[in-house]
Amino acid sequence: MSLIELSAIERVFTLGDSEVHALHALDLAIAAGEYVAIMGPSGSGKSTLLNLLGLLDRPDAGRYRLEGRDVTTLSADEQARVRRERIGFVFQSFHLVPRLTAAENVALPLMLAGVAPAERAVRVARALADFGLADRAGHRPDQLSGGQRQRVAIARATIMRPAVILADEPTGNLDRATGEEVVRLLEALNAGGVTLLMVTHDAALGARARRRVVMQDGRKIADGA
């Protein structure tokens, strides 16, 4: 059984009287533990696909099964719970809360899940140490470098031990060396069993994935190793 199963997905945006088929007749199956790069030109629907997989957006047609369960029909609160427990997001622009410290940012998902503060502190400290941020716990995002910020974001995305990590151009705001470092972190997580879906424009980074899905005009035009 696949972890992710999309069939006949349609996502149409209406702008005035023109319709944009951001996703069209999309079928996609991803098994647990896979490492998939999603590629394609700008506007081809990569982010739309990732938002849909992350339950931030709903398809206009088609079916989405996550871990065997049809999640498109879930209520908003049930979808929130799935996001909280099964999905980790990593964004191009990090999306750290500026007034909170690195530790507090990493603790956010635990807080939302109602984990007790004592256990929270232990898990956050361990996560920060795992990502080489132990001495940055009390720093606010504006006191961190780009690479450090993205590491905080990855620590936050993984603290709930999700089944899948959705990364939308995680290296887009980083220089080459820092970007590689971040990708190696994500790959290490994948090696530990987490399914990794990464949108990237960078052919070299895409080449590292074991599977590449190439999008164009909302369609999947290539899928394979």
Partner 1 sequence: MTPLDTLRFATRAATGYPLRTFLMVLAMSIGVAAVVVLTALGDGARRYVVNEFASLGSNLVIVLPGRSETGGFNPANAVTSTPRDLTVDDAHAITRAPAVLRTAPLTVGTSEAAWGGKLRDVTIVGTTADYLKLRRIDLALGRFLPAEDPNAAVAVIGAKIQSELFGAEPGIGKVLRIGDRRVRVIGVLGATGQGLGMNADEVVILPVAVAQAMFDTNTLFRILVEAKGRPLIEQAKTQTLEIVKARHDGEEDVTVITQDAILATFDRILGTLTYGVAGIAAISLAVAGILVMNVMLVAVAQRTAEIGLLKALGAPGGAIRDAFLAEAALLSATGALLGYALGQLGAFGLRTAMPALPAYPPDWAVIAALGTALATGLLFGVMPARRAARLDAVQALAKR
Q: List interacting residues with ligand ATP (CB under 6 A).
A: 13, 15, 20, 22, 42-48
Region from 27-35, 73-81, 131-139, 188-196 binding partner 1, contact rule CB under 8 A: 73-81
Q: Residue 81 binds which one of ligand ATP, partner 1, Mg ion, none, with CB within 5 to 8 A depending on kind?
A: partner 1
Q: Residue 17 binds which one of ligand ATP, partner 1, Mg ion, none, with CB within 5 to 8 A depending on kind?
A: none
User: What is the maximum alpha-carbon separation in the chain?
Assistant: 54
Site string for partner 1, 105-144 (x = CB under 8 A): ---xx-xxxx--x---------------------------
Q: Residue 30 binds which one of Mg ion, partner 1, ligand ATP, none, with CB within 5 to 8 A depending on kind?
A: none
Site string for Mg ion, 27-56 (x = CB under 5 A): --------------------x---------
